[in-house]
Amino acid sequence: MQTMLGITDFYRVDELLTDEQRLTRDTMRRFVDREILPHVGRWWLDGTFPTDLVPKLGALGVYGANLPADYGCAGLDNVAYGLLMQELERADSGIRSFASVQGALVMYPIYAYGSEEQRRAYLPLLASGEIIGCFGLTEPSAGSDPAAMTTRARRTAKGWSITGNKMWITSGSLSQIAIIWARDDEDRIRGFIVPTDTPGFAAHDIHTKASMRASATSELVLEDVEVSTDAELPKAVGLGRALGCLTQARYGIAWGALGAAVACFEEALDYAKGRIAFQRPIAATQIIQERLVNMLTRITTGQLLALRLGQMKDAGTMTYPQVSMAKRNNVRLALEIAREARSILGGYGITLEYHAIRHMTNLESVDTYEGTYDIHTLIVGREITGLAAFGE
Ligand code: TGC
Ligand code: FAD
């Protein structure tokens, strides 16, 4: 089979994929080329998330694609799921983020910690994109350390009353449901499915972003939001449950970031071959060649890391420190490649006529969210030394 990936598949990783994985990727690739790439620069500049994409991505089976078909999901393996994230982020990290949150942070906790009634009620609607969800863990004063959260869930005669603020919430203002993490009366962290039209719930978009502009990012305000016991995710008790969702999302990000890296590398290579300076293409200079070789080497190592991680996830042996290593490595390599690409494009690189600067500023967010680069250093550091360098 002819690879569609060309030079960015330097180690012929394509040959390690199944026909179904290749088909999934190639279908997504064509959709991204046709429906997203021609418009994404404009969406980003305007600061709008393209909501008309939501049902189209649902029809392609993107949301929760690695969850079982019984609940209206695509039932793909984790490598195929990773390839979907990679293709989406080749277009824009914000569009991939939307899909990551819907699948890994909203559908996954309902699937893993919800009752059978909750699964049947919500998963098919989320899979098709008929409803949108968001995930509220971070607070204005509790990001890297979510255990410091102050949002409270108090028991009432009919269920729960939730009060608190959540910050930096992807898709917050677009959502019909929010997965909200809060402390109960016994100080245990619990997860709830909160309908966003419940009185006392408000979402305010953050409009001053210089990153992730084709994505809605909101502050959530919950003031005595009364929900019934049906809102409680029965198995979502303890911080570990919230962190378990992050493992799913970080897995997808480790793949997704490679898509942004490939887009930047291809753009820089193409430009360097055509750009003449000192009577020769800049690609014929040693410095530009070294930079391109470094970029492609890092992409190749990232691809091998992601593929092996996916194989371990499918085998049920993947651990969360392994996910941290891949998220940390692949996002940072993508960010550095985007910066290199931006620089190779010279002055043109600061415009949105090219993709590099959009990817570059988006990747600053990706490097920060889902655990900052530093936090993943500490997670892997704790794993290899047995000593925690954060907290008590
Ligand atoms: P710690 O003692 O380490 O852990 C408490 C319990 O949880 C377990 N655990 C995990 N389980 C599954 N997956 C993980 N990633 C896990 N990390 C920890 C752990 O084994 C323990 O279990 P048990 O049974 O022993 O109780 O807890 P800690 O409070 O010391 O926290 C450690 C730390 C810093 C690693 C953790 O708080 C952390 O990961 N912080 C980063 C926060 C973060 O990533 N927030 C992301 C918010 S969501 C988001 O950014 C969405 S962006 C949009 C998009 O995805 O596109
Ligand atoms: P802090 O935790 O305040 O960290 C600030 C700096 O200190 C960082 O450089 C960090 O690495 C460093 N630092 C912190 N602790 C240590 C330590 N012990 N040792 C060394 N250095 C340390 N959250 C959600 O819940 N849901 C979402 O949908 C969501 N979407 C997001 C979308 C975007 C665009 C962004 C930017 C963020 C989003 N987040 C979301 C929040 C994100 O997860 C947090 O921003 C992230 O976890 C970091 O938390 P913080 O911003 O509070 O930074």
Per-residue pLDDT tens, the chain, 392 aa: give them: 334 568 999 999 999 999 999 999 999 999 999 999 999 999 999 999 999 999 999 999 999 999 999 999 999 999 999 999 999 999 999 999 999 999 999 999 999 999 999 999 999 999 999 999 999 999 999 999 999 999 999 999 999 999 999 999 999 999 999 999 999 999 999 999 999 999 999 999 999 999 999 999 999 999 999 999 999 999 999 999 999 999 999 999 999 999 999 999 999 999 999 999 999 999 999 999 999 999 999 999 999 999 999 999 999 999 999 999 999 999 999 999 999 999 999 999 999 999 999 999 999 999 999 999 999 999 999 999 999 998 76
361 CB within 6 A, ligand 2: no
Residue 171: the pLDDT is 98
* Distance (Å, whole) CA 305 – CA 147: 30
pLDDT reported for residue 2: 39
Task: Give 303's Cβ-side CA count (13 Å radius).
Answer: 23
Q: Give the pLDDT confidence of 222-259 residue by residue, as tens digits.
A: 999 999 999 999 999 999 999 999 999 999 999 999 99
Q: Is 368 in the pocket of ligand 2 (CB under 6 A)?
A: yes
Phi and psi at residue 48, to the nearest 5°: -120, 145
Q: Is 290 helix (H, G, I), strand (E, B) or coil?
A: helix
Q: What six digits make up the tokens of 124?
A: 């098919």
The pair of structure tokens assigned to 367 is 């490097």
Q: How many CB atoms lie within 10 A of CB 106?
A: 28
Helix, coil or strand: residue 77: coil
Q: What is the pLDDT of residue 160?
A: 98
**pLDDT at res. 4:** 52
Tracing tokens 């993947």 back to the chain, one arrives at: 318
Q: Report the predicted TM-score, pTM, of the whole model to 2 decimal places.
A: 0.98
Q: Which ligand is nearest to the CA of 379?
A: 1
Q: How far apart are CA 4 and CA 367, in angstroms?
A: 28
What confidence score (pLDDT) does residue 390 get? 85
Map residue 58 onto helix, strand or coil: helix
The rounded Å distance from CA 368 to ligand 1 centre is: 14
pLDDT at position 155 = 97
User: How high is the pLDDT of residue 321?
Assistant: 98
Active site residue 266: no
Spatial distance between the Cα atoms of 232 and 254, rounded to a whole number of angstroms? 30
Spatial distance between the Cα atoms of 86 and 49, rounded to a whole number of angstroms: 19
Looking at residue 290, its amino acid is: E
Nearest CA to ligand 1 atom 22: 240
Residue 5 has what pLDDT? 66
Task: Tell which atom from ligand 1 comes closest to the C-alpha of 388.
Answer: 30
Ligand in nearest proximity to the CA of 362: 2
Q: Of the residues 89, 139, 219, 370, which is catalytic? A: 370
Q: Is the CB of residue 364 below 6 angstroms from any atom belonging to ligand 2? A: no
Q: Whose CA is nearest to atom 17 of ligand 1?
A: 243
